[in-house]
Amino acid sequence: MLECKQKECWNQFLDFIKQRCSPAEFENWFRPIVLISSTDELITLEVPNIFVREYLLDNYKQEFCDFLPEKSPGEPSIEFVIAKKVVQEPTFQPQVEVDNSSAILKLKLNKLYTFENFIEGPSNQFVKSAAQGVALHPGKSYNPLFIHGGVGLGKTHLLHGIGHHILKGNKRLNIACITTEGFINDLVEHLKSKTLDKMKRFYRNLDVLLVDDIQFLQNRLNFEEEFCNTFESLIHQNKQIVITSDKPPSQLKLSERLIARMEWGLVANIAAPDLETRVAILQHKAELKGLKMPHKVAFFIAEHIYNNVRQLEGAINRLSAYCRMMQQEVTEDIAEQTLGEMFEETPKKSVTIDGILASVASMFNVKVSELRGTSREKKIAFPRQVAMYLAKEMMNDSLMKVASSFGGKTHSTVIHAWKKVSKQVETDETLRRQILMTKRNIEA
């Protein structure tokens, strides 16, 4: 969390959100929020009712975390209080932008999630071109298109991209872009008000149905059946369906019938982007925010954040907020200072004795068998001690086990070697470098 005056931070958050959602969404969900109090640890917000709180937490958690205090990683530290109702005040009703057929779509599509804003690389080229194919000829290419992949890799982005593209080509098509939760809520509401027919009519008259996060349909048997019926009705009329999920169909705990339906069309995976693509994404996002980001810095960040594009975006937001506030240029040092805690540790390869011996042998130009042997000749005994030192430093094995890997030495031999090399490293620059390079080699 950046240090900034809290009220300013909140306003910055609102400015940021305003660019990310439609005016109607902003008016419905964010405008009514009242900032009650705020410290470095906790922010208290007043919202009109419990639905607003749920909606905000379901849809904007990450954005909250990027700007506001967190109680644990990914969990914003926000206390919501519900506004006391004034008697005559009408209950809070989200105002849907009314523009007949495309009303739902307008409300739900993120305007930044277009194909143009989606950076292509080897990890997502296939799925992007499938999405573009569907958007170009809805109902005529792959149906359904099923996109699956991990969190924050661009599934929702592509889904909305399809929606934008279709809408641009034909404003009259009936398109709905829903989350699976949205579908379930809709169903609950219509069941309650005994208007299920109305809902069925609505869904079954669509030309394009875009469904986000189908994994949330798992273990919801009653809802699954209705979804499956809707699905079949649309597919039989050659209406386009696109579904996203965190897993491929076969791994979802859904009925065989629905799984089989989802596998009818094209199942496409979206994977984590490679380094080059991450750099391009960072540069693109920085440009969108008007942030000057030298290639070197983008590269530096991309090297440290690699699993999730949403985190790359969070990094840009944080960096941009910091540099704007402190009126500083973006540099590697500042990136490290402000983003250090977001950086992911490079997964360590498990270190083995064989790996250590091979690397030490090649660094000191001796044979592995000599390191394992008993020769006391200095040109062999010293590298052996270095290998023992590295084994103790880099492995979690007991000293006994390490010792036995060196031709049955005792654990005190290993300790002696470790002490000797540790001491020498403090003063011997050449040895320090040799050890550093050997370590890198072992971990590479």
As measured in angstroms, the least distance from the Cβ of 18 to ligand ADP is 15
* Contact set for ligand ADP, span 271-330 (CB under 6 A): 281, 309-310, 313
Return the number of the residue (166 or 281) whose C-beta is nearest ligand ADP.
281
* Contact set for ligand ADP, span 339-358 (CB under 6 A): none
From the list 4-12, 149-157, 355-363, 404-412, the region that binds Mg ion by CB under 5 A is: 149-157
As measured in angstroms, the least distance from the Cβ of 154 to Mg ion is 8
Q: H or E segment at 310? A: helix 309-326
* Size, binding site for ligand ADP by CB under 6 A: 17
Among 144, 154, 163, 314, binds ligand ADP (CB under 6 A): 154
Return the number of the residue (165 or 409) whose C-beta is nearest ligand ADP.
165
- The structure tokens 């989802």 sit at 262
Nearest 5°: CA angle at 169, between 163 and 170? 85
Q: Is 104 in the site for ligand ADP (CB under 6 A)?
A: no
Q: Is 156 in the site for Mg ion (CB under 5 A)?
A: yes
As measured in angstroms, the least distance from the Cβ of 296 to ligand ADP is 21
As measured in angstroms, the least distance from the Cβ of 156 to Mg ion is 3
Return the number of the residue (207 or 212) whose C-beta is nearest ligand ADP.
212
CA distance 430 to 427: 9
As measured in angstroms, the least distance from the Cβ of 157 to Mg ion is 8
From the list 156-164, 218-226, 332-340, 414-422, the region that binds Mg ion by CB under 5 A is: 156-164
Among 151, 275, 400, 436, binds ligand ADP (CB under 6 A): 151
* Size, binding site for Mg ion by CB under 5 A: 2
Ramachandran assignment for 142, one of left (phi > 0), alpha (psi -120 to 50 degrees), beta (any other): beta
Q: Which residue is nearest to ligand ADP (CB)?
A: 154
Backbone angles phi, psi at 37, to 5 degrees: -155, 165
Q: Is 118 in the site for ligand ADP (CB under 6 A)?
A: yes
* Contact set for ligand ADP, span 156-195 (CB under 6 A): 156-157
CA-to-CA dists, residue 410 to 46, 230, 344, 397, 441, angstroms: 67, 72, 38, 14, 27
CA distance 384 to 414: 10
Q: Which residue is nearest to Mg ion (CB)?
A: 156
Backbone angles phi, psi at 146, to 5 degrees: -115, 115
The β-bridge relationship of strands 70-72 and 75-76 is: antiparallel
300-337 as b/e, with b when 16 or more CB fall inside 10 Å? bbbebbbebbbbbbbbbbbbbbbbeeeeeebeeebbee
Residue 151 touches which member of Mg ion, ligand ADP, none, C-beta under 5-8 Å by kind: ligand ADP
Among 152, 314, 355, 383, binds ligand ADP (CB under 6 A): 152
Q: Is 110 in the site for Mg ion (CB under 5 A)?
A: no
Q: Is 124 in the site for ligand ADP (CB under 6 A)?
A: yes
CA-to-CA dists, residue 205 to 92, 100, 327, 333, angstroms: 29, 13, 53, 56
The β-bridge relationship of strands 145-149 and 266-270 is: parallel
Return the number of the residue (13 or 418) whose C-beta is nearest ligand ADP.
13
* Contact set for Mg ion, span 61-100 (CB under 5 A): none
* Contact set for Mg ion, span 121-140 (CB under 5 A): none
Three-class secondary structure of residue 86 per DSSP: coil
Nearest Cα neighbor of 314 from 152, 186, 143, 124 is 152
Return the number of the residue (69 or 152) whose C-beta is nearest ligand ADP.
152
CA distance 226 to 325: 51
Locate 67 and state its tokens.
């700007």
Return the number of the residue (184 or 353) whose C-beta is nearest Mg ion.
184
Locate 370 and state its tokens.
């000599």
From the list 151-159, 173-181, 285-293, 323-331, the region that binds Mg ion by CB under 5 A is: 151-159
Q: Is 245 in the site for Mg ion (CB under 5 A)?
A: no
The letter for the amino acid at 299 is: F
As measured in angstroms, the least distance from the Cβ of 124 to ligand ADP is 5
3-state percent helix, strand, coil for the chain, nearest multiple of 5:
55, 10, 30
Per CB under 6 A, residues contacting ligand ADP are 113, 117-119, 124, 149, 151-157, 281, 309-310, 313
